[in-house]
Amino acid sequence: MKKIYTVLCASVLFIACASYKPLAPGAADATRAAEKFPGTTLADLEQGKSIFEQNCNKCHSLKKPFTKDEETIKSVLPKMAKRAKIDSRQEDLVLKYLLTMNSAGKSK
């Protein structure tokens, strides 16, 4: 019985970690982003999220950047973008998405 319980707990933890979905941006997020990054739209944030989801989980969990502060994200992202082979426009979209949604998660 103890073995079954251990396997069940490990499975739940694995599924919980593997199924993390980054926050989807909404209209309020786009407004907040445009204040910080003039001209940023909801479509930009959605595109940044998509690029982030498609590229960043190859090396680490998608939750990891959301545990970092803004300065750390800004300093680490250029290295990660190079590893992920995304261009500067894509990197900028990911940065705007991460910084906007990172602050959204902390205000809740």
Per-residue pLDDT of the chain (108 residues; tens, 9 = 90+): 666 656 555 555 555 455 667 889 999 999 999 999 999 999 999 999 999 999 988 887 777 777 889 999 999 999 999 999 999 999 999 999 999 998 765 544
CA distance linking residue 51 with residue 45, whole number of Å:
10
28, 103 contact by CB (below 8 A): no
Decide: 66 and 102 in contact? Cβ < 8 Å: yes
Q: Tell me the H-state helices in 19-87.
A: 27-36, 42-55, 70-84
Give the gyration radius of the chain's Cα atoms.
Answer: 16
Model confidence, pTM? 0.76
CA distance 94 to 89: 9
72's CB contacts (< 8 A; 6+ apart) are: none
